[in-house]
Amino acid sequence: LVWLEAELGKGSGDTALSWSQALEGSLNFWNLLEGTHLITLMLFAGTIFVVDLRLLGVTFRKTPVSVVSDRVLPLTVAGFVLMIVTGLALFLAKPVIYYHSLWFRLKLVFLAVAMINIVIFHARVQRNQHKWDTLALPPRAARISAVLSLASWAAVITMGRFIPYNWFDCGKPIPHIVNVLENCKASDHGAVDKESMAKIAGGQGQ
């Protein structure tokens, strides 16, 4: 990741920048990428939420599930492609910071949960969709899948929004477990355990 941040795409000369540094230091491009990443959520998450609400039986109750998903999911996929492209570019701009971010790591975990849920839905729940396609209220397995989808995407969005906040940055006195989860020992700022700091402060007080 250090190579990705400092070396990849770097030209010759003392002032040459790597692609990562050029992207992070760009006048407007990083802002445009970040803004696009956020605004695309309206297309991506906004449409997937509607499909999930249909699976929950709270909207489009008279429309077959297959009609809603066939018409809406292509839009969701287009949004997802944009999210991935802009997300990867944003990661390229600050790979080391994101690597040591608790929120970024949790975002990836919830992203994995959402993906696994999609795989399970297609492999198992959708297998007998012809039996419940026109039902106003789909079976419990489909509803559970919809709840998991809504919750995991909401969690991905929440974690994503928390990334810019420095509450748990490496080098700050933070709980030991967070230092471990962020692998702060390997970071430039090191790991400072809040508990150890409290003990030292307590010892000095006595």
Partner 1 sequence: MKLTFEVFFPALRPWVENLVNVWPAPFVKPQFASFEVLHILSLILLGGTAILMNLRLIGAGVTDEPPSEIYRNLRRWQDLGVIGIVVTGVLIGMANAERLYDSTAFVVKMLALLAGVVLTYGASRPVARADGAVSTGAKLWLLIGGALFLLGIWVFVTGALINVGLFHVLSAAALLVLIALTGRLRWIYLAGLIVLIAASQFLTHVGVEPDDLAKLDPVNKTFFVLYSLWIFGAAAVQLFVKERGAEAGAVAKLIAYATILVWVVGAAAGRWIAFA
Q: Determine phi and psi for 174, rounding to 5 degrees.
A: -130, 160
Q: In angstroms, what is the minimal distance from the CB of 77 to partner 1?
A: 12
Rounded to the nearest 10 degrees, the angle between the axes of helix 65-93 and helix 29-55 is 150
Q: What is the largest CA-CA distance in the chain?
A: 73
* H/E element, 193: strand 192-193
165 touching partner 1, by CB under 8 A: yes
Q: In angstroms, what is the minimal distance from the CB of 60 to partner 1?
A: 5
Measuring CA to CA, which residue among 82, 87, 3 is closest to residue 47?
A: 82
Q: In angstroms, what is the minimal distance from the CB of 50 to partner 1?
A: 6
Q: In angstroms, what is the minimal distance from the CB of 58 to partner 1?
A: 9
Give the integer Cα–Cα distance in Å for 54 and 145: 12
Give the integer Cα–Cα distance in Å for 29 and 99: 22
Going from the C-alpha of 50 to that of each of 8, 27, 93, the distances in angstroms are: 41, 37, 33
151 touching partner 1, by CB under 8 A: no
Q: Which is nearer to partner 1, 35 or 175 (CB)?
A: 35
Q: Which is nearer to partner 1, 36 or 187 (CB)?
A: 36
Measuring CA to CA, which residue among 139, 147, 84 is closest to residue 114?
A: 147
Q: In angstroms, what is the minimal distance from the CB of 157 to partner 1?
A: 6
Four-point Cα dihedral 101, 103, 106, 107, nearest 10:
-110
Return the residue of 151, 162, 172, 194 that touches partner 1, per CB under 8 A.
162
124 touching partner 1, by CB under 8 A: no
Q: Which is nearer to partner 1, 2 or 32 (CB)?
A: 32
Residues 38-67, mask of contacts with partner 1 (x by CB under 8 A): xx-xxx-xxxxxx--x-----xxxxx---x
Instruction: Give Cβ neighbours of residue 160 (< 8 Å, ≥ 6 apart).
Output: 103, 107
Return the residue of 19, 21, 34, 96 that touches partner 1, per CB under 8 A.
34
154 touching partner 1, by CB under 8 A: yes
Using CB under 8 A as the criterion, which residues of the chain lie in contact with partner 1 when the complex forms? 27-28, 31-32, 34-36, 38-39, 41-43, 45-50, 53, 59-63, 67-68, 71-72, 75, 78, 154, 157-158, 161-162, 165
